[in-house]
Amino acid sequence: MSMLNIGTSALVTTQGALSTTSHNISNVNTEGYNRQRIEQGTRIPNFEGGYYIGSGVEISSVERLFDNFLAEQVRTFTSQEQQFDTFSTFARQVDDLLGSPQLSLSSGLEGFFNAVQDVSDDPTSIPARQVMLTEAETLTNRFNTLDSQLDAFNGQVNSSLDTAVKDINLLSQGISDLNQAIIEASGGAGIPPNDLMDQRDQLINELSALVSVSTLTQSNGAINVFVGTGQSLVIGNSSIDLNIVTDPADPSRNEIGYGPSSINISNQLTGGSVGGLLSVRQTVIDPARAEIDALAQGMITTINSQHIAGITLDGNAGGNFFEPADPLGNPTPDAGSIRLALTDPRDIAVAFPVGISTSQTNTGTGQIEVTAIDSSDPAFDATSVLAGAVSFSYDNTNKEYTVTYQGETATIAYDSAVDSGKSIDLSALTFTNLLGPAPTSPVLTVSLEGVPADTDQFTINNSVDALGNFTAVGDNRNALAMAELQVTKILNGGTQSFGDAYGILVANVATRTHQADVSQKTQLGLLDQTSLRYESVSGVNLDEEAANLIKFQQAYQAASQIITVSNTVFDSLIRAM
């Protein structure tokens, strides 16, 4: 009977092999499937006195071809690749936004300041003034749009984090369930339930695409999963949920909390799409919003302070050009709230609040020009900058101007040979105090030029006279001063113009996006190589399986022949009886 037994064992074993091959073939496209292989060995031989006779074949185990080291590497690279991929997806959106010609602040600023120059060319032209208002509105719209887009990106980050946390929790739950199933299936005998383990490995792989994880295999076959700095997601057959918490400092930001007490662990999470979301928010979206806000605040402050210093077409004091102006008010001035304060083009303050007249009797070539007006005093009123005329009289003997203001005098040394072009801040002058308190010095900066003759006289007066009459409608000096703000280095401690600051923002975002792209490609390459090695161990090759199929089919046919032969042998024996 041994021959029949041997034949049967061969048939059973070969059937097992054929089944395993079929299982491999059928799972060729199953995600996370690791090919299986039967390990077969000889059965315990029969001792026939002086010798052993082989007793056939048996399946000792069904092996899962799996290299834990490679699997861990694949997870690591998946985490990193996903992080950079997510980062670059979001950064690219910000990059496109800032670089888009339709939304770029750069062209918005250019359009606005060009319109200011057009107004300075024709101060009385209502169409030119209207264009300036329209361009200013376009600029504020761009600020608003950029702000709302960046806000929307922030919202996308929030909702992506929300989804990711839900996915992580589902996966943790799945892993813990599988842990339980595997512990039960192994039954303590250590027989691995291959397909369950495949499923669990696949879930861990999916988890690593969301966030970087580390694993620890327990002796009972369970795998514990950790995130961040060792916070456990899965311990044996139980899992701990992550949840969304809001940043108390900024309720518009979702953060990730751990466990029932919702401890914020955002700063400890790296890798995966969660890591990518957190880092793109921190390094791209937040700085971009801050920079755009700073730009908007800078625009509001500097344009307003120049505009307030001027006089409108109707002889009124220039008001705020942009709103909201109050940094402590509600809403606070930023890119989201900036808007145009004016509606009437006649209200643009294009003229300077003071004018200069030269005495008809002057014989020298001296000139005095007002170059700046300090409008920072809250009580500043452009229609009455001066309390009275400021008169300058040149004394050629002492090479100095005597400045008279409200009956008090001060002197400015001016030697045309060395001082031409000299700029003097009149508010820094101290007027002699002969009669009562000295007057408040005029908040003007003047430049002195040319060669004045002795006793030459100049007078600075308010452009709007005491009766409120204003004739200097063709004065473009305040518009010129506003246009000059385009190239003046105002922001970041006087190192950047508006355009510079925007350029630097674009460069920062572009560089980070570019870096993320490069890193993502690098990680993808590493992932591909590791995957190739992993797949070379665990992946199903159909040709191989086809060959195995032929091999096992032939073995099966041969084993069948054993049964036939054993039958023939048995028949011969019967017939002999």
Partner 1 sequence: MRVSTAYIFDQNLSAMLNQQTELGKTQLQVSTGKRILTPSDDPAGSVQILNLQRELGLSEQYLVNADKAENKQVIEEGVLQSTTDMLQRIRELAVQALNDTNTQNDRQAISAEISQLNEQLLAMANTRDSNGDYLFSGFSSNSQPYETLHGAYQGDEGQRNLKVGTGVLIESNDPGNKVFEAPVISTTFTTTLAPVATTVGTNTGSGAVAVNTYTGGSATFPAIDFTYDLALNEYTINDGVNAPVTIAYTDPMNVDLQAIDPNFPPMTVALSGTPADTDVLTLSNGTGTGQVAITDDSGVAETFSQITFSFRAEIIADPVGPPVVIGVPAQYDITDGINTSTVDYIDGMNVDLGTLNPNFPSISVSLSGAPLDGDVMIVEKTVTSTSQSMFKTIDNFVQALNNNTVGANDSPNNGDFLTNITASLNTVVDTRAKVGSRLNAIDQQRQINDGLSLNMQTTLSAIQDLDYAEAISRLTLQTTALQAAQQSFVKVQGLSLFNFL
Interacting positions 353-412 with partner 1 (CB under 8 A): 355-358, 360-361
* 536 lines the binding site for partner 1 (CB under 8 A): yes
Beta-bridge partners for 242? 258
* CB closer to partner 1 out of 190 and 421: 421
Cα distance from N-terminal residue to C-terminal residue, the chain:
17
| 3-state helix, strand and coil shares in percent for the chain, rounded to the nearest 5 | 50, 20, 30
Taking the complex as a whole, the smallest distance from the CB of residue 544 to partner 1 amounts, in Å, to 7
* 351 lines the binding site for partner 1 (CB under 8 A): yes
From residue 16, give the alpha-carbon distance in Å to each of 58, 157, 376: 10, 51, 91
* CB closer to partner 1 out of 257 and 318: 318
Closest CA to 364 of 411, 410, 414, 412: 414
What's the token pair of residue 74? 């694949």
* CB closer to partner 1 out of 431 and 458: 458
Selected from 547, 558, 565, 569, the binder of partner 1 by CB under 8 A is 547
From residue 67, give the alpha-carbon distance in Å to each of 215, 278, 469, 527, 537: 14, 32, 91, 15, 7
Going by their DSSP bridges, the two strands 223-227 and 213-217 should be labelled as: antiparallel
Question: Which ranges of 309-447 would DSSP assign to H, the alpha helix?
Answer: 416-419
* 317 lines the binding site for partner 1 (CB under 8 A): no
In sequence order, the 6+-apart residues with CB closer than 8 A to the CB of 263 are 257
Selected from 2, 26, 96, 432, the binder of partner 1 by CB under 8 A is 96
Closest CA to 78 of 539, 516, 520: 520
What's the token pair of residue 192? 């691995």
Taking the complex as a whole, the smallest distance from the CB of residue 109 to partner 1 amounts, in Å, to 8
* CB closer to partner 1 out of 63 and 544: 544
Chain residues 495-534 in contact with partner 1, contact rule CB under 8 A? 499-500, 502-504, 506-507, 509-511, 513-514, 517, 528, 531-532
* CB closer to partner 1 out of 294 and 480: 480
The amino acid sitting at 342 is: L
- Is residue 296 within 8 A of residue 304, CB to CB? The reply is no
Closest CA to 300 of 290, 308, 311: 308
Taking the complex as a whole, the smallest distance from the CB of residue 292 to partner 1 amounts, in Å, to 15
Binding mask 109-148 toward partner 1 (x if CB under 8 A, else -) reads: xx--xx--xx-xxxxxx-----------------------
Long-range pairs, 397-402, Cβ under 8 A, ≥24: 397/454, 401/448, 401/452
What's the token pair of residue 470? 């204003």
* CB closer to partner 1 out of 191 and 487: 487
Selected from 15, 541, 556, 563, the binder of partner 1 by CB under 8 A is 541
Taking the complex as a whole, the smallest distance from the CB of residue 246 to partner 1 amounts, in Å, to 31
Taking the complex as a whole, the smallest distance from the CB of residue 328 to partner 1 amounts, in Å, to 33
* 348 lines the binding site for partner 1 (CB under 8 A): no
> Would the CA dihedral through 287, 292, 293, 294 be positive or negative?
positive
Please report the beta strands in 304-382, taking only residues with DSSP state E, as ranges in sequence order.
Answer: 322-323, 339-340, 354-358, 367-373
* CB closer to partner 1 out of 405 and 502: 502
Taking the complex as a whole, the smallest distance from the CB of residue 104 to partner 1 amounts, in Å, to 8
Residues in the interface with partner 1 (CB under 8 A) total 72
* Contact stretch for partner 1 (CB under 8 A) within 91-99, 149-157, 206-214, 253-261: 91-99
- Is residue 302 within 8 A of residue 485, CB to CB? The reply is yes
Taking the complex as a whole, the smallest distance from the CB of residue 357 to partner 1 amounts, in Å, to 5
* CB closer to partner 1 out of 454 and 528: 528
* Contact stretch for partner 1 (CB under 8 A) within 102-110, 149-157, 196-204, 332-340: 102-110
Taking each helix axis from N to C end, the angle separating 68-99 and 194-210, rounded to the nearest 10 degrees, works out to 30
* CB closer to partner 1 out of 325 and 504: 504
From residue 15, give the alpha-carbon distance in Å to each of 21, 61, 549, 561: 10, 14, 11, 15
Selected from 64, 75, 92, 200, the binder of partner 1 by CB under 8 A is 92
Question: How many other CB atoms are found less than 10 A from the CB of residue 293?
Answer: 21
* CB closer to partner 1 out of 429 and 483: 483
Taking the complex as a whole, the smallest distance from the CB of residue 287 to partner 1 amounts, in Å, to 15
Selected from 538, 555, 559, 562, the binder of partner 1 by CB under 8 A is 538
Taking the complex as a whole, the smallest distance from the CB of residue 499 to partner 1 amounts, in Å, to 5
* CB closer to partner 1 out of 325 and 480: 480
Can you tell me the distance from the alpha carbon of 181 to that of 346, in angstroms, rounded to the nearest whole number?
80
Taking the complex as a whole, the smallest distance from the CB of residue 3 to partner 1 amounts, in Å, to 31
* 569 lines the binding site for partner 1 (CB under 8 A): no
Can you tell me the distance from the alpha carbon of 410 to that of 429, in angstroms, rounded to the nearest whole number?
7
Please report the beta strands in 341-388, taking only residues with DSSP state E, as ranges in sequence order.
Answer: 354-358, 367-373
Closest CA to 368 of 351, 352, 356, 354: 356
Chain residues 445-484 in contact with partner 1, contact rule CB under 8 A? 463, 471-477, 480, 483
In sequence order, the 6+-apart residues with CB closer than 8 A to the CB of 440 are 387
- Is residue 481 within 8 A of residue 407, CB to CB? The reply is no
Selected from 10, 57, 91, 278, the binder of partner 1 by CB under 8 A is 91
Taking the complex as a whole, the smallest distance from the CB of residue 261 to partner 1 amounts, in Å, to 40
* CB closer to partner 1 out of 114 and 138: 114
Taking every pair of C-alpha atoms in the chain, what is the biggest distance, in angstroms? 158
HSE (CB half, 13 Å, CA atoms) of 106? 15
Selected from 141, 181, 544, 551, the binder of partner 1 by CB under 8 A is 544
Chain residues 19-48 in contact with partner 1, contact rule CB under 8 A? 28-29, 35
Taking the complex as a whole, the smallest distance from the CB of residue 536 to partner 1 amounts, in Å, to 5
Taking the complex as a whole, the smallest distance from the CB of residue 453 to partner 1 amounts, in Å, to 14
Taking the complex as a whole, the smallest distance from the CB of residue 118 to partner 1 amounts, in Å, to 7
